[in-house]
Chain A
Amino acid sequence: MRTRIFTFTLSIFLCAIARAELKWEQTAVELHPTAGDKEAVGHFKYQNTGSQPVRFKSVHTSCGCTVAQSQKEEVPPGEKGEITATFKIGDRTGTQVKNVTVETDAPNHATTVLTLKAVIPQELEINPTFVFWGQGEALKSKSIVVRASKDFPVKQLKVTSSSPDFQTKVEQTGNGQFKIDVQPRETTRAIAAKLVIQPEDSPKVFYATVSVTNAPATQ
């Protein structure tokens, strides 16, 4: 009986001290890619502070736009490593938050959620990005408001239409603020155009779409 109690207690003690644990330097990383960057890469560093090796069971992301990779499959005790999360920016805007879920065989914290936050700079805010007229609608111009962000001062804006069916006029309405007045030549048929909006002295271009739709104008 005493031997059993001793063995039981010893095994509990051994389990308690023989732990596997992954300690993360940080579980949330905030990135500030510059305009023109195609990707934002976050590094999540960890260390095995336990006495048992830790094996990664899976590393998966919350969306197809983020790819996460672990340097190692198994982390020996005391070893360090990192998980790299690469977020494809594409044409995304604003603050993007993507999660990476890491599953290990460590008894405490078997699952850890790493958060990658990317603040994508938005040089111009275009509102709205789509303007349309119904067929037969009155030939009146409609406006698109363009606001430059404080970090990207814009003195002049160049707007070109991909089709001569739409005329555009740009007016500066304030510091870094512009109004684009657009008018179609006619609203008797379906026509469309892409407006290319380019700040002066900047290679970056922005877009808006204008069209006369197939459907008649609604009152």
Chain B
Amino acid sequence: MAEIAKVKFAWRIMDLVVGGVFIYAGVVKAFQPVRFASDIDNYKILPWTISVGLAFYLPWLEILCGLALILRRLYLGGLSILTALVLIFSGVTIAAKVRGLDITCGCFGHASQNWSFSGHLALDLVILAALLALYFKVTSENRLQNAV
């Protein structure tokens, strides 16, 4: 029983850490939306107007999804959105590197401007792994509950 409690606690810590990371990432970008819009524009994938729209929208989406993980409300929805966001961020970071673009914006906006490409990608992958672990844990718990 104590073991189960420990495991549950560990998963809960993971919720808090991952949620906290996204809230931090969202807040950093929400403070400087114009700069974040330039960073998105630097990937040269989207038109400027869309970059501006995303710069105002994405940070709040990250903050709300991070809160969803911490407060365990709309949990699965938050997890799905964050997983999709990290997959997209990783994809465009790799694409930018392949295209030789000078990208300073990863998950953390300008706070991560001194990180290397591999540093960015490594963090993205670690976060993705944590999100996927939480996702599979929740979906297998739901399946078990439905079976019971």
Contact = CB atoms under 8 A, between A and B. Distances in A.
A27 B102 contact: no
Q: How large is the interface on B (under 10, 10 to 19, 20 to 34, 35 or more residues)?
A: under 10
Contacts, number: 16
Interface in A105-159: 113, 115, 117
The secondary structure that dominates the B interface is loop
B102 A95 contact: yes
Which bucket holds chain A's interface residue count? Answer: 10 to 19
Main secondary structure of the interface of A (DSSP, over half): strand
A27 B97 CA distance: 11
A30 interface: yes
A175 interface: no
A27 B96 CA distance: 11
Contacts of A7: none
Contacts of A208: none
Contacts of B47: none
Nearest to A26: B100
Contacts of B102: 95, 97, 117
Interface in A148-180: none
A26 B44 CA distance: 16
A113 B43 CA distance: 13
B94 to A, nearest CB: 14
A37 to B, nearest CB: 21
Interface of B: 44, 99-102
16 contacts: A26-B100, A27-B99, A27-B100, A28-B99, A28-B100, A28-B101, A29-B100, A30-B100, A95-B102, A97-B102, A113-B44, A115-B99, A115-B100, A115-B101, A117-B100, A117-B102
